[in-house]
Amino acid sequence: MAEHLPNFFIVGAAKSGTTSLYEYLKQHPEVYMAPIKETHHFSTDIDPASFRPNYARSLNKDLSRWLQGDMKEGIFHAFVQDWNQYVQLFRLAENQKAIGEVTNSYLYSSEAAANIRRKFPDARIIMMLRNPADRAFSHYLMDLRIGYETADFMTALKKDMARNPKGWGISNMYIEIGQYARQVKRYLDTFPADRVRIYLFDDFVKNAEAVVKDLFRFLGVNDQVAIDFGRKYNPSFIPRNRLVQLLNTQKRMRDWIKGALPRSLRRRAKTALFTDKNLPRLQPDERRFLIEIFADDIRELSRLIDRDLSAWLEVKS
């Protein structure tokens, strides 16, 4: 068994800045992050056998071979169900004080909190929560980018709301992932309060450095280490035109092209085919529709974490 294993977990929420947290933490010499950004290991109630084909293909990695290598070329996500494989993710950790991973399904999963506590009773838990209306729309923009969606937001949203069955990797869950109250309560009921830190995406956007320094203190590492906050991670962008959008839905073709292109050309190809200009925006009537769905959950979450979330209930122009 590996000598070093995780002592902290960033559990979500999805589309709430967790990729940026992951990258900032990787810059700290006293922190070791799993080279798979999302392992999903403790989400045992999520069954990869039920995933829709396009999501399943995105996880189709030869983990055994990759784990035997230097793991320098990280993987964004994979379902690492085998414990021995999970342990291998941390074999290159040395004397870092904080060892962790980020998996957004851990917040949504009904079993992850208990599974983590059972295996790592002293673990620290970190969450980043975003206005659920904005989170849902950002999730939709991501689905446009990766070819899961081609319709306008309200069409995609209502289609997803009507889907049956639903679940992680089965449906988009624009609504369900943003219904935080029960998800957060699960962790507060499972871990001591001093082992859980909850951040708001709003605060992170205003002052990422302040949030990250507080996180470093929470993890017991030096909060004066210089971190490069200049780069954006996992930003929103969409296909430049309808032809690119159509080709983008052909997952096998995308994967083949990506595999055929040298790494040096992939970024240029992405710039040529996708854009972050003139992105769709969440309209007031769309936000109103979402707020009506989320309002009770937002009020419950506000009471639960003792934070004023009234701004999340406002219909912005």
Give the pLDDT confidence of 139-181 residue by residue, as tens digits: 999 898 877 888 999 999 999 999 999 999 999 999 999 999 9
Per-residue pLDDT band at 107 (split at 50, 70, 90): very high
Give me the pLDDT at residue 157, please: 98
Give me the pLDDT at residue 265, please: 61
Q: What is the Cα–Cα distance from 115 to 111, expressed in whole angstroms?
A: 6
Per-residue pLDDT band at 272 (split at 50, 70, 90): low
Identify the CATH number of the domain defined by range 8-140+174-235.
Answer: 3.40.50.300
Average pLDDT, the chain: 89
The residue type found at 176 is E
Query: The dihedral of CA 9, 13, 15, 21: what is its sign?
Result: negative
Q: What is the Cα–Cα distance from 34 to 100, expressed in whole angstroms?
A: 6
Give me the pLDDT at residue 88, please: 95
Annotated domain spans of the chain: 8-140+174-235
Contacts of residue 9, defined as CB under 8 A and 6 or more positions apart, other chains included, come to: 100, 101, 102, 103, 106, 116, 120, 123, 124, 125, 126
Give me the pLDDT at residue 235, please: 57
pLDDT digits (tens, 9 = 90+) for 112-140: 999 999 999 999 999 999 999 999 999 99
pLDDT digits (tens, 9 = 90+) for 30-73: 999 999 999 999 999 999 999 998 888 878 678 989 999 999 88
Q: Which residues pair with 274 in a beta bridge?
A: 239
Per-residue pLDDT band at 1 (split at 50, 70, 90): very low
pLDDT digits (tens, 9 = 90+) for 274-301: 566 667 899 999 999 999 999 999 999 9
Q: What is the Cα–Cα distance from 315 to 317, expressed in whole angstroms?
A: 7
